[in-house]
């Protein structure tokens, strides 16, 4: 699913719209958006922050990154492509 896109654009977009062709992937996105996902996105966040030139993050800071991305998707939405 395209959660990584929201993580990448969290600082530059007020609203983020995610889409996918597969209902299974949309379910993963919905669970993530509703903070009901068991998947650990911390390794992905570490790579994104390293690419952005950021320093090593604490668990709380990684949670903040994810919360900011999640909030932008809630303002945008998840669409079936």
Classified as helix, coil or strand, 19 is: strand
- Residue 78 binned pLDDT confidence (cut-offs 50, 70, 90): confident
Query: What mean pLDDT comes out for the span 53-77?
Result: 92
> 17 burial class (0-12, 13-18, 19+ CB within 10 angstroms)?
middle
Query: What mean pLDDT comes out for the span 23-29?
Result: 91
pLDDT at residue 69 tops 80: yes
Mean predicted lDDT score pLDDT of the chain = 91
In terms of residue numbers, what domain contains 50? 3-80
CB 66 within 8 A of CB 41: yes
pTM: 0.88
Given this model, what pLDDT does residue 56 score? Answer: 84
Q: In total, how many domains does the chain have? A: 1
- Residue 62 binned pLDDT confidence (cut-offs 50, 70, 90): very high
pLDDT at residue 11 tops 90: yes
């Amino acid at each position: 699913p395209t959660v990584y896109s929201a993580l990448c654009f969290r600082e530059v977009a007020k609203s983020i719209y995610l889409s996918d062709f597969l209902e299974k992937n949309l379910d993963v996105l919905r669970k993530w958006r509703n903070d009901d996902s068991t998947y650990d996105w911390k390794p992905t966040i570490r790579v994104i922050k390293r690419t952005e030139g950021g320093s090593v993050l604490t668990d709380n800071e990684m949670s903040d990154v994810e919360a900011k991305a999640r909030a932008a998707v809630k303002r945008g939405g998840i669409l079936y492509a």
